[in-house]
Amino acid sequence: MGSFRLGSVLGFEIRIDYSWFIIFLLIFWTFSFASFPFNFPGFSTGVYVAMGLASTILFFVSLLAHELAHSVVARARGIPIEGITLFIFGGVSRTRGESKTPGDEFWIAIVGPITSLVIGVIFWLVGAFGLRGGWGIPFSGSALYLGILNVALAVFNLVPGFPLDGGRVLRSIIWKVTGNMTRATYYSSQVGKVIGYLLIAFGIFEAFTISVIGGIWIAVIGWFLRNAAAASYRQHLLQGILENVAAEEAMTRNPTTVGPHLTLSELMDEHFLRERFEAYPVVEDDHPIGLVTLDQVRAIPSEEWPARQVSDVMATAPNGLTVRPDEPMTDVLEKMESSGVDRVLVTRDDHLEGIITLGDLTVWLRRAQELQPQRTSRRGRRKLGPDMGDEGRERETRL
């Protein structure tokens, strides 16, 4: 759905996915017009709305603290963190890699529920002392409710289904016992899918017997968990494959190039309207200097195209657009995501050798799996994909 930048905390970028507003409004409505009026009767609608708004904001602050705890520990253990995104199902820390050891995985995972539990106890103590000290039901009741919710959040995250925190703890234990991260990921993700199906079944049962809205929400969470578990395992396999693939293996060689002084009208007439490509490397004196895309041209009013040149709109090569032919595809993917154009130029000694797009990567993966899914890469390293045993290799070929 897209997201926007909210700010940064402790050096971590905080982003809000637009889907987050759905869960924010849902929780706010539940607090203001259901939970608080039922548990603390006798107050006006305005009081309940104020309690609901404050509690909803504090709940998401607590959720952000949970994700910050993950990010701080991950950064301390050498795993790069791009930032944190809040979305409809909570929050997620955006990492650029996986844990290197079972110990790293365990501590990064467990610190989140511990943080939520500590926050929950603090809120509960504030609410309990508030009731005894006469601080008022709206304040004390809200604190008690937030305490219970944070404890519930900690308990839910400890459910041993990947990719929940509890599932990651389970993966770290299996990884430690077996010495095989992929096998551990497979079994923990299978548990995650089973738990997802159980939540779906329970949600359907609740929808027909107790609460329609509550049941639907539980079923949706179960559906999300089931899909997230399956996707996480596929992503892990994909990363295992790509870390052994060099950029030159997936690139399109000798791509069509354009000059920086070509006008946008000429670029459109001579290239974009005649050829199937949506981006062209920009080369000057046999040296790549940037990349121009169809979207960049579309962003300029058409009446300005005759007077504007490619150099006016292109993304310049120094801005994360170039990779070496021997760079692993995992690093290439990171640069593709950060480039803003989903493409990178492959260069050697400041000379263009090729271009890599997401389409190139998709084609390479399909051909590698159809023809020789377990072939040794050109880099002379181990077979594509981690050692998973016969069962795991069979799943990898279907990825």
Catalytic residues, which ones?
67
Helix-strand-coil split of the chain, %, nearest 5: 60, 15, 25
Integer-rounded Cα radius of gyration of the chain: 26
Q: Name the 3-class secondary structure at 1.
A: coil
Half-sphere exposure of 42 (CA within 13 A, CB side): 6
CA separation for the pair 78, 226 (Å, rounded)? 29
Q: Do 341 and 293 touch, CB atoms closer than 8 A?
A: yes
> Which residues, at least 6 apart from 365, have a Cβ–Cβ distance to it below 8 Å?
238, 241, 399
Q: Which two tokens stand for residue 248?
A: 């030159």
Q: Name the 3-class secondary structure at 198.
A: helix
Q: Which two tokens stand for residue 228?
A: 């997230």
Long-range contacts of 1-10 (CB under 8 A, 24+ apart): 3/85, 3/87, 8/83, 9/64, 9/68, 10/68, 10/71, 10/72
Task: Compute CA distances 322 → 2, 47, 342, whole Å.
Answer: 26, 57, 12
